[in-house]
Amino acid sequence: MTHDLSTYRYLVVTEGQFGPLTSKTANSAVRFIPDRVVCVLDSTQAGRTVQDVLGFGGALPVVGTVEEGLRLEPTALLVGIAPQGGGLPEAWRPMLRSAIAAGLHIVSGLHLHLGDDPELARLAAEHGVRIHDLRKPPADLPVSQGKARLIDAYSVLTVGTDCNIGKMTAGLHIRDALTERRVRVGFAATGQTGILIEGWGIAVDAVVADFIGGAAERLVLQAAEGNDVVLVEGQGSLVHPGYSGVTLGLLHGSMPDAMILCHQPTRGCPYGGGNAYSWMPLPSVEEMIRICEGAIAPLRPSKVIGVSLVTFDMDEDAARAEIDRIAQVTGLPVTDPVRFGAGPLAEAIQRGADAKRSARAGSAPAAV
Amino acid sequence: MTHDLSTYRYLVVTEGQFGPLTSKTANSAVRFIPDRVVCVLDSTQAGRTVQDVLGFGGALPVVGTVEEGLRLEPTALLVGIAPQGGGLPEAWRPMLRSAIAAGLHIVSGLHLHLGDDPELARLAAEHGVRIHDLRKPPADLPVSQGKARLIDAYSVLTVGTDCNIGKMTAGLHIRDALTERRVRVGFAATGQTGILIEGWGIAVDAVVADFIGGAAERLVLQAAEGNDVVLVEGQGSLVHPGYSGVTLGLLHGSMPDAMILCHQPTRGCPYGGGNAYSWMPLPSVEEMIRICEGAIAPLRPSKVIGVSLVTFDMDEDAARAEIDRIAQVTGLPVTDPVRFGAGPLAEAIQRGADAKRSARAGSAPAAV
């Protein structure tokens, strides 16, 4: 709940880890709030541009030291990684010290709260800067009671065959496409990057396990206020051996009217921990649709109404062929929202929202 | 990891909440470690016996004040409730103060850690007593990587159509039945009461959400050491709107060879929060078996091999008829382990363990 975030200009630290697959938080900042990023700090890539490293991001510079970055007048340092497990690399501490001493606020999505680090907290107090721990949950979360099923707005959760497979990205592109269509959209951010972008939210993977659903419920109720559609940022996957608990809690707490399934055709096994999950094949899109719809069926009916693909590692013909194939097999709209636009998914959601509004109007007591 | 717990003699506080359905931790202490309970403190029921209130527990007295309880020479105070949400009722604070001042250790399974309460921590230090927060998780949990599927021991998780439906109780009765059969059993305690009874474990509902599976994985690996069978204490239900995330994380982290499904025939909707879940019917046993087996199928095959019923609120004929009916429908062994013994479930597990041992011996490289 840190709306201040929207005014910060970031020096983004990824030291030694800047790359298309390794610096998720940094990469999302570059993609979604480029106007608020002044540079990336990574001494192993200094002198290149962000475009050189990521394939997007344009002329944003990669710098080698905090001092070099300060010349670009950032107002905050953003920790640009979100490692499995979640602590601060000790080698980064001197950079954070220098940044605080130079008056930069600190923004972090690490599991380990930097505000609880005695040295950093003391330094921040001395220099009058704030430490924002994006993953620090509210202290008063409820246990979910299914209230999110009762909202007037049409709610859509992004789900996936895996973690790190475009659930937030799809949601943000769909949000923009719906906004263009003059649909009023609330985005319920559930991860550190979504919170960074939106300025509010709860990192559901960081709450105490009993309150995953309660966090999701609270987010949906809040995002529904004054909106026609709520897009809930999904997390993990119902089949990911490490993160599935978060995913099911989020599904049952958010009680979505519908789901958008995210998938990467080239991915063979769950993401994370090197080859930790190479023993397990990912389900197909059709199987995953059955798994997602089946997982919420005992609570309420909810359908997957579209498929969002990640195809950056396929040539365009192959990507289009795969989109056609999945559309054929599932009978659903399919797109890669980054590459081909989110239009088909936004349209499916708009149709769903219209149908829900009509159904509720029809079942409401008639005005005299 | 508090083996000291096994030496304590408890004054169990349930003030205003002692009853068959309201004081879960107290009731489990009375049932499973009666030799270590000296009395229950509840001024609204003072003068009665535990048997009068619960229908079991014999002549154990219910006292009205800490002072009265102290005459029975307890060495520790146990907080006997585990409310949804999880804080200490403020009205209980004076009782905890008196107990600490009298030299009693404090044992609590509340979500809110009493050791973090400044006043209680200071008092405990002054009087040289310890505060054990059963739900406080280790600080260094991993993300689950599926390692629990590789153990030599045969692992069994208790699952349920709901929370608070006998998963721990079934596990403990099965443990005793297997021990009688000279099977070496490790019990992986995953909730505050199980930890109280066993003296070690991790409360998986209290860990940060990303680490539910990792906590389960660590428990199973530890419980497997030197044992033929690992019984994993289940939590919640895959269809409980509040707790399903914990349940799926525990299933995927523990990677059981088999499951025992717990069910109460008279229960219509999920437990908790007054009538918060009355909008939702519970699945039948047959549906729930499909849901549980389906939820782990993408990771590994695992079957429900027995059904454990809670029938205390049915007359004996009705209970036996329901056991027969479910056995007929599912083709599985069915019992109420408290009422009719855990034998059929222990036998099914022993058969599974034998089959796993034979299969692994058969697939191992032959000795020369």
Q: Which two tokens stand for residue A213?
A: 């659903």
Q: Which two tokens stand for residue B204?
A: 């998986």
For residue A5, name the pLDDT band (cuts at 50, 70, 90).
Answer: confident
Q: Kindly tell me the sign of the dihedral angle through the C-alpha atoms of A93, A96, A102, A103.
A: negative
pLDDT digits (tens, 9 = 90+) for A100-129: 999 999 999 888 899 999 999 999 999 999
- CA angle in degrees (0–180, nearest 5) for B318-B285-B249: 135
Q: Are the beta carbons of A245 and B246 separated by less than 8 Å?
A: yes
Q: Between A and B, how many CB-CB pairs are < 8 A?
A: 158
Q: Are B111 and B44 in contact (CB under 8 A)?
A: no
Q: Which two tokens stand for residue B134?
A: 């059963």
- CA angle in degrees (0–180, nearest 5) for A50-A53-A55: 85
How confident is the model at residue A114, as a pLDDT?
Answer: 95
DSSP B89: P
Q: Who contacts A144 (Cβ-Cβ below 8 Å, separation ≥6)? A: A212, A213, A214, A216, A217, A249, A252, A253, B241, B242
The dotted CATH code for B147-363 is 3.40.50.300
Q: Are B282 and B162 in contact (CB under 8 A)?
A: yes
B239 Cβ under 8 Å from any chain A Cβ: yes
Query: Which residue spans of chain A are classified as CATH 3.40.50.300?
Result: 147-363
What distance in Å separates the CA atoms of residue A298 and residue B180, rounded to the nearest whole number? 39
What distance in Å separates the CA atoms of residue A304 and residue A172, rounded to the nearest whole number? 18
pLDDT at B172 over 80: yes
How confident is the model at residue A368, as a pLDDT?
Answer: 45
Q: Who contacts A286 (Cβ-Cβ below 8 Å, separation ≥6)? A: A329, A330
B13 vs B361 pLDDT, higher one: B13
What distance in Å separates the CA atoms of residue B169 and residue B238, rounded to the nearest whole number? 19
Q: Which CATH number fits domain A3-133: 3.40.50.720, 3.50.50.60, 3.30.420.40, 3.40.50.1110?
A: 3.40.50.720
Q: Are the beta carbons of B298 and A291 separated by less than 8 Å?
A: yes
Please state, for a pLDDT cut of 90, what percent of chain A lies above it. Answer: 87
- For A105, phi then psi, to 5°, come to -70, 160
pLDDT digits (tens, 9 = 90+) for B201-241: 999 999 999 999 999 999 999 999 999 999 999 999 999 99
- Mean of the pLDDT values across residues A225-250? 98
For residue A139, name the pLDDT band (cuts at 50, 70, 90).
Answer: confident
Q: Are the beta carbons of A277 and B146 separated by less than 8 Å?
A: yes
**For A294, which residue in chain B has the nearest alpha carbon?**
B291
- Mean of the pLDDT values across residues A246-267? 98
Q: Are the beta carbons of A214 and B242 separated by less than 8 Å?
A: yes
pLDDT at A365 over 70: no
Q: Which two tokens stand for residue B349?
A: 């597990």
Mean pLDDT for chain B? 94
Question: Rounded to whole angstroms, what are the CA distances from A72 to A62, A128, B54?
Answer: 11, 21, 70
Query: Which residue spans of chain A are classified as CATH 3.40.50.720?
Result: 3-133
Interface test with B, best of A192, A210, A247, A280 (most B CBs within 10 A): A210
